[in-house]
Structure 1
Amino acid sequence: MNLGKTRLAAIVGATLMAGGLMGGVAMAYQSHMFAARNALYAARSQLQVSRMNKGGHRVAALQAVNAAIRQVDLGIRVGR
């Protein structure tokens, strides 16, 4: 298969651009994961300073937020 230099350069350029675009999408998605983790940290902080247990729901919410933080951390690691 004999490709001309111009055609080969176009193919290589298109491949590099596509890879760069995919990398940009991955980084954008990762930024959402970091934003979600920050929101979960804020939620946990608010739950921790709450005085009343609210019939056990505050403790359950803290456990759920902590579990969500662990899952987001795992997702961030996999996304790297």
Structure 2
Amino acid sequence: MTLSKTRAAIMAGVLLASGAASGVALAYQGHMFQARNALYAARSQLLAARHNKGGHRVAALRAVDAAIAQVNIGIRVGR
């Protein structure tokens, strides 16, 4: 298993565990959790990309990380 696949597997496990631990939150924040899952998938793909694409890959990673942070804040506020 490559490093990026390992990271993706770890992230998926963390997401599943956090979803199980917040069962009630899942009921009314499903879209937030789905958005976060999609952002983690996008992050994994960006990490797997070979070249930096003129700095845009790194910029995209920063933007995705910032979006994940905002979604996490929204989930906490929504509890």
Please give the TM-score of this superposition, normalised by the length of structure 1: 0.65
| Pair 1:30 & 2:1 matched | no
CA distance in structure 1 between the partners assigned to 2:41 and 2:48 by the alignment: 11
Q: Supply the AA of the counterpart residue of 2:50.
A: R
Q: Percent identity?
A: 78
Q: Supply the AA of the counterpart residue of 1:64.
A: A
| Pair 1:64 & 2:47 matched | no
Q: Which runs of 4+ in 1 moved over 2 A?
A: 26-29
Please give the TM-score of this superposition, normalised by the length of structure 2: 0.65
The Cα of 1:79 is off from its aligned counterpart by 0.3
Does the CA-based 8 Å contact 2:26-2:33 persist in structure 1? no
Equivalent position of 2:44 in the other structure: 45
CA distance in structure 1 between the partners assigned to 2:76 and 2:53 by the alignment: 34
State the aligned residue count. 55
What value does the CA root-mean-square deviation take over the aligned residues?
1.5
| Pair 1:75 & 2:37 matched | no
CA distance in structure 2 between the partners assigned to 1:27 and 1:61 by the alignment: 28
Q: Secondary structure at the match of 1:52?
A: coil
The Cα of 1:60 is off from its aligned counterpart by 0.0
Q: Give 1 or 2 for the bigger CA radius of gyration.
A: 1
The Cα of 1:45 is off from its aligned counterpart by 0.1
